[in-house]
Amino acid sequence: MAQTTFSKEELERYSRHLIIPEFNIEGQRKLKEARVLVVGSGGLGSPLLLYLTAAGVGHIGIVDFDVVDESNLQRQVLFGVENVGMPKVDAAKKRLESLNPHVEFETYNTMLTSDNALEIMKGYDLVADGTDNFPTRYLVNDACVILGIPNVYASIFRFDGQVSVFNYTDKEGVVGPNYRDLFPEPPPPGLVPSCAEGGVIGVLPGIIGSLQANEVIKVITGIGNPLVGRLFVFDALNFDTRTLNLNKNKNLKPITELIDYQQFCGIKPAEEKQEEVPVKEVSVQELHQLISDGEQYQLIDVREPYEYEISQINGELIPLSSVLEKANLISKDKKVIIHCRSGKRSADAIRLLQDTLGYNNLYNLKGGILAYAKEIDQSLATY
């Protein structure tokens, strides 16, 4: 097999790598020969992809089925306002090609599932997991175990981040712990919210994604000691760091096939969700007409106070968590319209009030404040 060579332009580009004694041209050659799959091009994927591309990883695959949203720009530094509405994989490829034309990119504009994961992931040397949900994390882990490739893992939430290297085989052929050794079972559904629900400080993905990229480079080149059998934990609020030791769980069953990870994590299929008791709804146009006609009604906002400060449509603020406690403030004698950001929490509030206290005059604002901002008042801030 012919040895990988570098053009004059590449040698100049990577010169700061080449003069590191522990790295030199052999390390750069390993990077150029490597095939890395990045799952998720959002908060973590942005710095991860930027630094792997800049470092000269020869072939990078990108899996993401989302489109760029304005709310992404607070932390997803791979994208700009000109990318809003574009598929993330397309916007990412365009940006990364401008950063380093010596790297090949392969994009997968699809959700990673049990049906396609092994097909997509095979042929890659390692996978870097930048996702924000438990079903995909378990799926990526199990597929890596089956394929026998390392899984460079990271996660973020509010001010906290984690990094580790799972399923790594050392020079003696010993395979390190995988994600299931850390979390044998997923948490109950809804206990740990996603970043979209719980938030994340904008710089944290940059910090953790960069550390994740560092681990990818270490695994590829063989330099240093990767985070195998260790979990790095970072608290950005207090600037505390800890490194926890991980051991393999001897009681875990061997992973030989992919399963239904939505079911494994206790997430109901879409068809089951549709079987929930429907609630009465009004459209934002109907609400606007009620306001114009001066009709008697009550508008309740079940979002959090910080959301109310960003934007509001003159509803009475009663957060979902306190809706039963403050039910005495909600009328039973006239039409009551309840809203949140998108319509999900307000529907939950209505079911709770109906089932617990027998309300029958409650209406959900379809689409919530997002629909109101889009269709009625474009000056209203969304988030």
171-215 per-position pLDDT tens digit = 999 999 999 999 998 887 656 666 666 788 999 999 999 999 999
CA 63 from chain centre, in angstroms, equals 12
pLDDT of 381 reads: 83
Q: Which of 66-70, 273-277, 286-290 has the lowest mean pLDDT?
A: 273-277
- CATH number for region 276-375: 3.40.250.10
Residue 2 DSSP code: P
pLDDT tens for each residue of 204-249: 999 999 999 999 999 999 999 999 999 999 999 999 999 999 999 9
For residue 278, what pLDDT is reported?
A: 85
Side-chain-side CA neighbours of residue 152 (13 Å)? 29
Alpha-carbon span 321 to 332, nearest angstrom = 20
- Per the document, the length of the chain is 383
Give residues with Cβ within 8 angstroms of 8, minimum separation 6.
Answer: none
Q: Give tens-digit pLDDT for 67-117.
A: 999 889 999 999 999 999 999 999 999 999 999 999 999 999 999 999 999
> 135: which 2 tokens?
């079903």
Q: Can you tell me the mean pLDDT for 304-315?
A: 90
Neighbours of 64 (CB within 10 A): 25
265: pLDDT strictly greater than 50: yes
Check residue 186 and give its pLDDT.
Answer: 87
Calculate the average pLDDT of the chain: 93
Model pLDDT, residue 212: 98
Of residues 291 and 91, more confidently modeled: 91
Domain 34-271 has CATH 3.40.50.720: yes
Instruction: Report residue 268's pLDDT band, with 50, 70 and 90 as the boundaries.
Output: low
Give 358-381 pLDDT, tens digit per residue.
999 999 999 999 999 999 998 888
Q: What pLDDT, on the 0 to 100 scale, is given for residue 246? A: 95
Q: Which residue has the tokens 């509030």?
A: 349
Q: Quickly list DSSP for 47-82.
A: HHHHHHHHHT-SEEEEE---B--GGGGGT-TT--GG
Q: Pairing between strand 160-166 and 151-157? A: antiparallel
Cα–Cα separations (whole angstroms), residue 358 to 150, 175, 350 = 54, 57, 10
Residue 272 above 60 pLDDT? no
Query: Higher-confidence residue: 278 or 347?
Result: 347
Integer-rounded Cα radius of gyration of the chain? 24
| 106-121: pLDDT as tens digits | 999 999 999 999 999 9
Question: Can you tell me the mean pLDDT for 321-348?
Answer: 94
pLDDT of amino acid 285: 95
Cα gap 334→332, rounded to integer Å: 6
Write the CB contacts of 36 (distance below 8 Å, at least 6 apart in sequence): 52, 57, 59, 60, 61, 124, 125, 126, 127, 128, 216, 220
Which pLDDT tens digit goes with each residue over 12-63?
A: 999 999 999 999 999 999 999 999 999 999 999 999 999 999 999 999 999 9
Mean pLDDT, residues 252-264: 93
The model carries a pTM of: 0.76
Judged against a pLDDT cut of 70, whether residue 165 lies above it is answered with: yes
Domain residue limits, the chain = 34-271, 276-375
CB-based contact 45:130 (threshold 8 Å):
yes
To which H or E segment does residue 35 belong?
A: strand 35-39
**Which residues are designated catalytic?**
195, 340
Q: What is the pLDDT of residue 192?
A: 63
Neighbours of 372 (CB within 10 A): 23
pLDDT of residue 58: 97
Nearest residue to 84 (alpha-carbon basis) of 64, 99, 70, 97: 70
d(CA 212, CA 155): 10
User: Other C-beta atoms within 10 Å of 182: how many?
Assistant: 17
